[in-house]
A and B are shown apart, each in its own frame.
Chain A
Amino acid sequence: MKDKSLSVLTRRQFIRQAACAALGTGALTSAVRDLRFLNAAVAQSLPTDYKALVCIFLAGGNDSNNLIVPTIPAEYADYSTIRSDALALPLSGAPNVVLPISPLNSDGHQYGLHPACPQLATLFQEAKLAVLFNTGTLVYPLTRAQYQSGALAKPPQLFSHSDQSTQWQTSIPDRSPLTGWGGRCADLLAAMQPDAPISLCVTLTGANTFEVGNTVSQYSVTSSGAISLWGVSGPRLQSLTNILALPNPNLQIRAYSDVTEHAIQTGGQLNAAIASTAAPSYWSVPFPAAVTSPTGGAPFNSYLASQLQMVARMIEAGHRDAANGGFGMKRQIFFCGVGGYDLHSGQTLGPGQTGVGAHANLLAELSQGLFAFQRAMEQLGLSDNVTTFTASDFGRTLSSNSDGSDHGWGSHHLIMGGAVNGQRTYGRFPTLAINGPDDTDTGRWIPSTAIDQYFATLATWFGVDSGNLGTVFPNLGRFSTPNLGFV
């Protein structure tokens, strides 16, 4: 009798079996990943309070070297020498000087904020704002020697806009971008609000990576509300709705009709729920329609403020219970974004006017928008329930290119809200020295805090169990402090 196991495979059999094996392996890998996430979601405890996370993405790479400035004379001298008179903000004796802040903690330094940010200085002194130093994408903790020798893996495509902004949103720099960390948090927590009419993840700036989950999808709105069908309203909309409701044996047509019908219905529900907060006068501190930097310059329309106003309205409606026309949601994640931070040129108006210019305008917009938003949360009684944080592609070089700054790496960030342990600084301020211990070589800071630590701290506050942090942030175990304690 012929032993089947020893029989020789024909090429055709081999190809067929190899193809089946490849397909099977792929499916198995995918299934294992999904099952792991499913188990994590089942094990996740479901809190009953309301919380919202608001991400403000400063697209292009914010020059945080001018957002937070060292004010001890020796350190300021290093700062101003390297920045040159093209970028260095004055400390005294000139218009638009750095605004000093008084942290409750002492890390051996003293700091001030950009002169276009008096509202941020107020929030900091009110302990509603914290600063996190030198944070960026890391695969492993990295020293300058390790960076230069290549002994440890670095995030791929450092200094590239698209790659770094994606990595900031996935928080897994060394893997292909499949999901964002906001989306993964939402996957775990969505079960606490199964009847919510809109997704836990809402974006104000179109599709983003941050809110892509394995199961949760992001819901896109504009600064005016739900996105509706253009030119279709009244009787036309009713007719369309009637047509969509017609029975159809074709499954594809049926599915398309269901999705469209649901989108129309949800949009109508959302617009109705936020109608009560439409008037700008609803807010005791109005969101600025136009921003003028206190340091000078012409007024301009603020896209960020209009986004934050819509976020405030959606938080009001999302938090309000269903019996009162709200959505009765327990968790919401919002993504806002503003561009223009890629200031290789025109960052300031030059020597003697470094507090004025494109970057001052952007920071004035950020400062005034955040201030109005924080006051809105206080008005709603939700200050302790909403935490806002900044993110950006990367920081910028401390050294000037004579007209602006170039792509950097680690950067300083802001965390705002009533739950924030504010008026404090977190992380380690870099040594401001070219070829110093924190520098790659041109004033690009090697991050001393990983975004994984930054975001895991926020996710923990948001309600992700400690047992699930590793699912949301697979690289977190590589860094010594998973919770930075700022919230």
Chain B
Amino acid sequence: MRRGETSRIIVLLIAGTGLVLWLVYATRPEAQVHALETQSPKPADVSNVSTNQPETDNSIPETEAAPVPNETEPADIVPAGPRPAVRRIPIENVAGPEPLPGLTPAAVLHNMRSAIGDYSSRFGGNPFGNNREITAKLNGGNLKQIVFLKEDDGMRINQRGELIDNWGTPFFFHQISGTEMEIRSAGPDRKMWTSDDLILK
């Protein structure tokens, strides 16, 4: 009888622990990112990945041009004037130099997102700061001295300690929240905030 009760308690404890772990892990944004990445093909990624391609509507006044959307704003807080619509184009077809065969600009961006996601899983939030500070944290400058960057994934660092894209331009990390980061590559023209920028959220 006592043995049966003990077994039942153990089974319940294991099931409860499993449920808690599942709830904690599965509801984390980075876990959802990993889940999306395992899908094939990747329709969800297409909606998240874009080149920053403004509409060619020249009637939009210059003064209202394209501030980066702030997704933390309440829905009913609006900017002073309309923002131009952004046409979402998958970046998978954007060609560029490949540090290693197969490491296309899009692949490197995805790997970057994974590295940040791994950091977030380990430390409970994204690394923060500018490119140099984020790079340092991803590259072992953290409490547990864990290195999240792998050269095989196309993670390259310039002399100023900044992570760079396939064209050699430092990435821009737009911190939306503690767990949401927009990663921007300047794209082929190597100039940030132009229409050929590659963006991964």
Instruction: Using CB atoms and an 8 Å cutoff, list the residues of chain A in contact with chain B.
Output: 10-12, 15, 59-60, 156-163, 165, 205-208, 291, 293, 296-298, 300, 302-303, 337-347, 349, 356-358, 360-362, 365, 393, 401-404, 406-407, 441-442, 444
Contacts and interface: CB of A to CB of B under 8 A. Distances in A.
A344 B77 contact: no
B80 A346 contact: no
Q: Closest 9 A-B residue pairs measured CB to CB?
A: A340-B79, A162-B177, A345-B193, A297-B63, A161-B72, A300-B81, A160-B175, A339-B77, A162-B72
23 contacts: A60-B70, A158-B128, A160-B128, A163-B177, A163-B178, A205-B74, A297-B62, A298-B63, A300-B64, A302-B80, A338-B80, A340-B80, A341-B70, A344-B68, A344-B193, A345-B67, A358-B64, A358-B79, A361-B81, A362-B79, A362-B80, A365-B80, A402-B193
Given A157-B177, A339-B77, A344-B172, 9 more contacts: A60-B67, A157-B128, A158-B128, A165-B72, A346-B65, A358-B67, A360-B63, A365-B80, A444-B130
A327 B66 CA distance: 43
Given A157-B128, A291-B80, A298-B61, A343 B67 contact: yes
A59 B70 contact: yes
A292 B71 CA distance: 26
Contacts of B29: none
Interface residues of B, number: 41
B192 interface: yes
A59 B178 CA distance: 17
Contacts of B130: 159, 406, 441-442, 444
A342 B63 contact: no
Contacts of A208: 74
A42 B78 CA distance: 40
B176 interface: yes
Contact of B64 (A361, A401, A404): A361
Given A159-B129, A206-B75, A402-B193, A346 B67 contact: yes
Contact of B63 (A59, A337, A356, A402): A356
Contacts of A15: 9
B28 interface: no
Contact of A358 (B6, B65, B75): B65
B201 interface: no
B57 interface: no
User: Would you call the interface of chain B mostly helix, strand, loop, or mixed?
Assistant: loop
Contacts of B176: 160-162
A338 B81 CA distance: 11
B73 interface: yes
Contact of B80 (A206, A361, A403): A361
A303 B180 CA distance: 28
A399 to B, nearest CB: 10
A33 to B, nearest CB: 24
B77 A59 contact: yes
Given A157-B175, A407-B175, A442-B130, A337 B77 contact: yes
B192 A342 contact: no
Contacts of B126: 157, 160
A345 B197 CA distance: 12
B5 A12 contact: yes
A156 B178 contact: yes
B115 to A, nearest CB: 18
Contacts of A60: 67, 70, 73
A444 B5 CA distance: 61
B189 to A, nearest CB: 12
Nearest to B2: A10
B63 A349 contact: yes
A16 B126 CA distance: 38
Contact of B67 (A160, A162, A344, A441): A344
Contacts of A360: 63
Nearest to A154: B128
Contacts of B73: 59-60, 337, 339
A338 B70 CA distance: 12
Contacts of B172: 344, 401, 406
Contacts of A156: 125, 178
A55 to B, nearest CB: 13
